[in-house]
Amino acid sequence: MSLAQTQRAFSAWLRTGASDDAMPFGSSALPGLAIYQNNFRAQLADCLEDSFPQTRQWIGGEAFHDAVVHHVERVPPSSWTLDAYPRDFPATLALLYPDDPEVNELADLELALAEAFVGPDAEPLAAERIAQVDWDRAILRFTPTLDLRPLTTNAPDIWKTLTGEEMPPAAALLPEQAALMTWRQGEMSRFRVIDGAEQRGILLTRNGLPFAALCAQLVDEMGESEGVALGGAWLGSWLADGLLTDIA
């Protein structure tokens, strides 16, 4: 076999552990291959254990271990770095716990915070820039670590109590679907739960809609007084949270 063929065969065997995939290496290699595969899977399992401590605490160590085993056996790494392996785990939890959506949303929160922490650096907008802005033309630039994910449960409240070593609330569905907003501010990952209207406003603005046009849409939908007030409140919170890096 060529080197490329050997690498493909070894990768296939690591994923499946099937005897047919081990045949190219000969029977004498089987004991060593088994040791290597055990170490490989143990590294993947340790990665998931380290990445989702609050999810583990929420569903219990045994249930979490079963979910990890299920995931490791069915989902091979898709990247050269082990840091990327946790990305598909919330989807596995969604399949394993279809009647408990807070489980995968709790894992999704932990994943989002971790990814925000290692995201690209960006300086928040300087306060002195605000007075110079032409708000009739302003286009807002958000920090590159900003991420929005759908949210249907009180998973953030569960996370807060678990990290604070307090008694968590019972899982509950939100009255209406919201969004989980995560980003990094300085050296700390942060999150905030926002409603669908603010989520839509951020998406439109991030895609290039001028802030004045966003406010005009809010006025059309809510009336002048409420629309202008809501647009101003959003802008104030985005600035306070360090979400804006520039205004074009």
Average pLDDT score, the chain: 89
* Domain-terminating residue out of 68, 99, 130: 99
Residue 151: exposure state from Cβ atoms within 10 A (0-12, 13-18, ≥19):
buried
Quick one: average pLDDT of 225-246?
A: 96
Q: What is the CATH number of the domain that holds 238?
A: 3.90.930.50
Q: How confident is the model at residue 20 (pLDDT cuts 50, 70, 90)?
A: low
* Same domain, residue pair 92 and 106: no
Instruction: Please say if the pLDDT value at position 216 is more than 90.
Output: yes
Of 18 and 65, which is predicted with more confidence? 65
Helix axes 101-117, 30-51, angle to 10 degrees: 90
**Digit-coded pLDDT (tens) for 153-165:** 999 999 999 999 9
> What is the pLDDT at residue 7?
55
Do both 111 and 70 map to the same domain?
no
59-78 per-position pLDDT tens digit = 999 999 999 999 998 898 88
Q: Which residues pair with 147 in a beta bridge?
A: 182
pLDDT at 12: 61
Q: What's the mean pLDDT in 20-33?
A: 56
Residues 85 and 111 occupy one common structural domain = no
- Structure tokens belonging to residue 32: 């060593």
Give me 126's structure tokens.
Answer: 């300087």
Residues of the chain with pLDDT > 90: what percent? 74
Domains held by the chain: number? 2
pLDDT for residue 64: 98
Q: Which of 72, 99, 126 is the last residue of a domain?
A: 99
Q: Are residues 111 and 234 in the same domain?
A: yes
pLDDT at 81: 84
Write the CA distances from 8 to 77, 84, 92, 154, 220, integer angstroms: 14, 21, 26, 44, 58
> What does the pLDDT read at residue 162?
97
- One domain, residues 90 and 213: no
Domain containing 75 equals 1-99
pLDDT value for 146: 98
22 with 55, same domain: the answer is yes
By three-state DSSP, how is residue 242 classified? coil
- The pLDDT value recorded for residue 38 is 73
Q: How confident is the model at residue 128 (pLDDT cuts 50, 70, 90)?
A: confident
- pLDDT-wise least confident of 42-51, 73-82, 103-112: 73-82
How confident is residue 209, by pLDDT bands cut at 50, 70 and 90?
very high
b/e 17-52 (16+ beta carbons within 10 angstroms → b): eeeebbeebeeeeeeebeeebeeebeebeebbeebb
This prediction has a pTM of 0.86
Q: How many angstroms separate the CA atoms of 41 and 36, rounded?
A: 9
Mean pLDDT of 223-247: 96
Q: Which is nearest to 194 in space by CA: 212, 213, 177, 217?
A: 177
| 178 and 121 together in one domain | yes
Q: Does 15 score more than 90 pLDDT?
A: no
Q: What is the pLDDT of residue 179?
A: 98
65 shares a domain with 13 = yes
State whether 189 and 242 are in the same domain: yes
* pLDDT greater than 90 at residue 5: no
Of 76, 99, 122, which one is at a domain's C-terminal end?
A: 99
Q: Is the pLDDT of residue 131 over 90?
A: no
Looking at the fold, whether 32 and 59 belong to one and the same domain comes out as yes
